[in-house]
Amino acid sequence: MDYSQAVAYLDSFINYEQIPGVAYAAPGYSLSHVEELLSRMGAPQLAARTVHIAGTKGKGSVAVMTAGVLSASGYRTGSYTSPHFHDLRERICIDGSLISEERFASTMAGIRPFIEAMRNEPAVRQFTYFEVLTVLAFAYFRQEQVGFQVLEVGLGGRLDATNVARPDVCVITPISLDHMQILGSTLEEIAREKAGIIKPGCRVVLCPQPPAAASVLIDICRERKAEVVQLGKYVTWRKTGGDLLHQSLVIEGIRNTYQVDIPLLGDYQLENAAASVAALEILASAGFAISGADIARGLADVRWPGRFQVLRRDPMVLVDGAHNVASMRRLVDNIRTYFSDRQVLLVFGTSNDKDVPGIVAELAALSPRVVVTRSVQSRAALPASLAAQFSKHGVGTEISESVPQALSRALSMAEEQDLICVTGSLFVVAEALDYFSMS
């Protein structure tokens, strides 16, 4: 099996990233088929210490920050995140290096007989794309003898394929309304799904939450006798400086005070850095060697593209993968903080399962000029429908049927002092990153 054959085999499984995932929350759904598969493989998900991260916003950032510090501390560290921008292999890394095509293929070849044996058993639930990829990540991490694995939940928590691991520490990042057709229509319902990663007796970093979500999460932690470290209460942070390339901050942890720099912009990244430090302090209190210098070095070297990232100047081009109402509100706030003197020109596209009216309402507050578009992703909303939503707020739009066309049009429209902001979807941002890397 070569890499293309391995990817083709993965693509043979149903992929709910490409279509709305109704079956995910079907009555009676469980991870028993994933657990059985891993059991037959010798339980690779239990071979490493685990940091497990769920939430609506920021979980990928917390994952890469935490993994980066663990690597800086001398621990061989695997990270499993999603989605990817350009290459599927971005999701599975060890010490920041992508799994090679050869190792992806050989690992898939190794797990395939186990999968096929179960596929031929009529009583076994069929595997999904994400479940197979998650099993591959666990197998690869065990082969490479990683000391830690940092796992970002793909969707939800309770029924996510990553939830077969046994975490040493869990992090719940801010929860907001997203994927409501799958996870639930209220913050309380969504919080219960996210809290599914909290195992009895584990330690939990809880980021600031809306009251409805916080109440559910704290109650579940109490029921499961999980010790909670509340961000903003026991661990605090404050910004001390920065520019368009980095931010400096002081984090007051439970054990120490840390002065750090992160090469990421946006106020939410300060919170994410503090959440990462809180998780790392929990590990340090359990006896793992993680110093303040390791934390500073790991955070300074973190790379996480497509999140409030400036790609060029004159005109300024900013990309941000915000794709729900809460994250769009924070994007608007940060644009006002960093670029208050610039006229905003939006390049906007999103998925058809998002709260488009709510997202557009947030963006309309910027009084922007707008070019609406769509990514090549199959769930992309039609540009005409996006234009109709902006028109309800008195915001005129132009329509471009592809992201490259939209970017070309925006660059031709923009004055030197304007801000072009590309947002609405990580898929749109990925195409923008491609466009500017080739220009």
Average pLDDT over residues 334-340: 94
The contacts of residue 327 (CB under 8 Å, 6+ apart) are 56, 57, 176
- Say which range, 177-181, 240-244, 304-308, has the weakest mean pLDDT: 177-181
DSSP 12-80: TSB-TTTS--SGGG-TT--SHHHHHHHHHTT-GGGSSEEEEEE-SSSHHHHHHHHHHHHHHTT--EEEE
pLDDT at 340 over 80: yes
Under the banding of pLDDT at 50, 70 and 90, the label for residue 21 is: very low
Within the chain, all domains assigned CATH 3.40.1190.10 are found at: 3-233+264-272
Each residue's pLDDT tens digit, 389-400? 999 999 999 999
Q: What is the pTM of this model?
A: 0.92
Q: What is the pLDDT of residue 23?
A: 47
Distance in angstroms (rounded) separating the CA atoms of residues 62 and 278: 11
The second-level CATH assignment, the architecture, of 3-233+264-272 is 3-Layer(aba) Sandwich (3.40)
**Beta partners for 312?**
317
In the predicted structure, residue 415 carries a pLDDT above the cut 70: yes
Q: What is the mean pLDDT of residues 152-174?
A: 95
What is the pLDDT averaged over residues 171-186? 74
- Please report which confidence band the pLDDT of residue 179 belongs to, taking 50, 70 and 90 as the band edges: low
Please state whether beta strands 203-206 and 344-348 pair in parallel, antiparallel, or not at all (unpaired).
unpaired
The boundaries of every CATH 3.90.190.20 domain in the chain are 309-438
Q: How far apart are CA 52 and CA 63, in angstroms?
A: 8
User: Rounded CA gap, 436 and 20, in Å?
Assistant: 30
Rounded percentage of the chain residues whose pLDDT exceeds 90 = 85
Collect contacts of 286-295 with beta carbons under 8 A, ≥24 apart: 286/168, 288/49, 288/73, 288/75, 289/73, 289/74, 290/69, 290/70, 290/73, 291/73, 292/256, 292/258, 294/69, 294/72, 294/73, 294/74, 295/69, 295/72, 295/258, 295/260
Name, in order, each residue with C-beta under 8 angstroms of 209's C-beta and a sequence gap of 6 or more: 172, 174, 175, 191, 217
CA 336 to chain CA centroid, nearest Å: 24
Mean pLDDT of 297-325: 93
Question: Using 50, 70 and 90 to split pLDDT, how confident is the model at 26?
Answer: low
% of residues, the chain, pLDDT over 70: 96
Has residue 351 got a pLDDT over 80?
yes
Indicate if the pLDDT at residue 22 is higher than 60. no
**Backbone φ and ψ of 17, nearest 5°:** -75, -20
The CATH fold assigned to 309-438 is: Protein-Tyrosine Phosphatase; Chain A (3.90.190)
Rounding to the nearest 10 degrees, give the CA dihedral for residues 353, 354, 358, 364: -110
Question: Does 95 have pLDDT greater than 70?
Answer: yes
User: What mean pLDDT, rounded, does the chain reach?
Assistant: 93
Structure tokens at 387: 């234009």
For 53-79, write each residue's pLDDT tens digit: 999 889 999 999 999 999 999 999 999
189 or 405, higher pLDDT: 405
Three-class secondary structure of residue 156 per DSSP: coil
Which residues are bridge partners to 258 per DSSP? 251
